[in-house]
Amino acid sequence: MSRLGTVSVAAVVASLAWAGLSAAPSFAQTTSDVVTQLYDEAYFLKAADQAVTTADPDTVVQLYQSAIIYAPGDPVPYEKLAEYFVGNKQPELAQRYFNLALDVQPAYAPALQGLALLDLAAGNREGARANHEILVRSCGAGCPETAQVEKALNSASKP
């Protein structure tokens, strides 16, 4: 190799080495960092809540399920999806997701309320009373969910 070739190769190697040392990887932002910053449980819950009025049902369900994937240990996305199914007159799916919320947090008041109201709507007064009792023990008599179920039980018993 000629002297010029040796100098050129040395210059390229030196410049590459210098460029590698001067690059600060701690300040570089990767695509996966951006995704982590943009998408989380709150993002999907908000998107699903907004999509309820504007999007097709499959999109809404997918957004709530994405929130569940991001936070499987939080009962809120399960309960929100259950409420969506209640509104869409799909009580079996609503019941399934209320129960999943209770699997995550056994005394989760909104899920207990949802199950009690579903029981009442299906004519299962005893099931509604049982969930009301659990609400009273876990949440208290002054809890809004307990009061709502109690109100529904009282109005359902009037002829």
Q: What is the model's pLDDT at position 23?
A: 42
What pLDDT is attached to residue 9? Answer: 42
Please give the radius of gyration of the chain, using alpha carbons only, rounded to the nearest integer: 28
Longest dimension (CA), the chain: 105
Q: Mapping DSSP to helix (H, G, I), strand (E, B) and coil, where does residue 111 land?
A: helix
Count CB-CB contacts under 10 A for residue 43.
Answer: 15
- Distance CA(98)–CA(127), nearest Å, equals 14
Q: Which two tokens stand for residue 85?
A: 């199914």
Q: List Cβ neighbours of 78 (8 Å cut-off, separation of 6 or more).
A: 68, 97, 98, 100, 101, 104, 111
Question: What span, in angstroms and rounded, lies between the C-alpha atoms of 2 and 5?
Answer: 5
Q: What is the pLDDT of residue 158?
A: 65
The pair of three-digit structure tokens given for residue 70, joined into one six-digit string: 């991001």
- Residue 107: CB partners within 8 Å, gap ≥ 6? 134, 138, 139
Please, what is the Cα angle at 121 between 147 and 157, to 5 degrees?
60
- The structure tokens 């943009």 sit at 38
* Average pLDDT per 10 consecutive residues for the chain, totaling 159 residues: 45 41 47 62 93 91 95 97 97 98 97 97 96 95 95 82
